[in-house]
Amino acid sequence: MPVSTLPTAPGRPGVVTANGASPRGPVLRRRLSPLRILLAVVLILGFALAGAVVADRIDTRVPVLATARPINAGQVITDADLAVVRVAADSAVSTVPETDRGSVVGSTAAVPLVAGALLTPAQLGAAAWPPAGQSVMAVAVKPGRLPSAITSGSHVLVLIVPTTTAAGSGDTPPVAQAEATVWSLEEAKDQSGDTAVSLLIAAADGRRLASVVGDVTLVQLGVGR
């Protein structure tokens, strides 16, 4: 059977087979326009920027001052003592805005402050520690007389067993006791193994216990006592 040919564009053979099928030619690929690529990048960046702006407007947190490390009552506050945190505090919660940092630096801490605590105006000023009617008492507690669960803030019963007898009577004075709150604990730097404990205690109880010479035992009390 004769084979026919069809006219084609110059340079491209247009052979038709006996069954009328035409062989496949090369596949044409569409080139991406640099302008379209640039437009897509601009759109992506625009959407990202718009999202960031919206998120920033929705965020109701404000920058306030917090303590970067522990500060003792009466200590002059330095710039290194302060950190900036963002919080969404209720209007009833008193805080110090970041913009007041310059006036806070150089002021005095009125009360002891722990690291990471939000700073409030009431915590600044003349030292007001310990509170009226209270005193801070230091005691050395021997190993085995301090429960391992006791930490700062623990409510304890302080027991002091006198090691001397009452003058002229030969009788051992009764055990002195009073309730107190543990303010801090620090292990002794010598080889004694004692723990130095600072107690926040009623002023009258502090004077009474300070006059007793003996071994100190701390008994941890339950919450709500």
- pLDDT (tens digit, 9 = 90+) per residue, 74-133? 899 999 999 999 888 677 778 999 999 999 999 999 999 989 999 999 999 888 889 889
Residue 29 is predicted with a pLDDT of 57
What pTM did the predictor assign?
0.59
Q: What is the pLDDT of residues 154-185, one digit of tens each?
A: 999 999 988 865 555 566 678 999 999 999 99
Q: In angstroms, rounded to a whole number, what is the distance separating the alpha carbons of residues 188 and 173?
A: 28
Ramachandran quadrant class, 170 (left: phi over 0; alpha: psi -120 to 50; beta: rest): left
- Could you tell me the end-to-end alpha-carbon distance of the chain, in angstroms, rounded to an integer? 114
Q: Which fold has domain 62-123?
A: Type Iii Antifreeze Protein Isoform Hplc 12 (3.90.1210)
Sign of the Cα torsion 82, 86, 90, 91 reads positive
Residue 57 is predicted with a pLDDT of 62
Identify the bridge partners of residue 86 per DSSP, sorted by sequence position.
Answer: 63
Query: Domain map of the chain by residue range?
Result: 62-123, 134-220
Residue 9 is predicted with a pLDDT of 47
Q: What is the pLDDT of residues 135-162, one digit of tens each?
A: 999 999 999 999 988 998 899 999 998 8
**If you search the block for the tokens 């564009």, which residue do you land on?**
9
Q: Is the pLDDT of residue 27 over 70?
A: no
Residue 99 is predicted with a pLDDT of 93
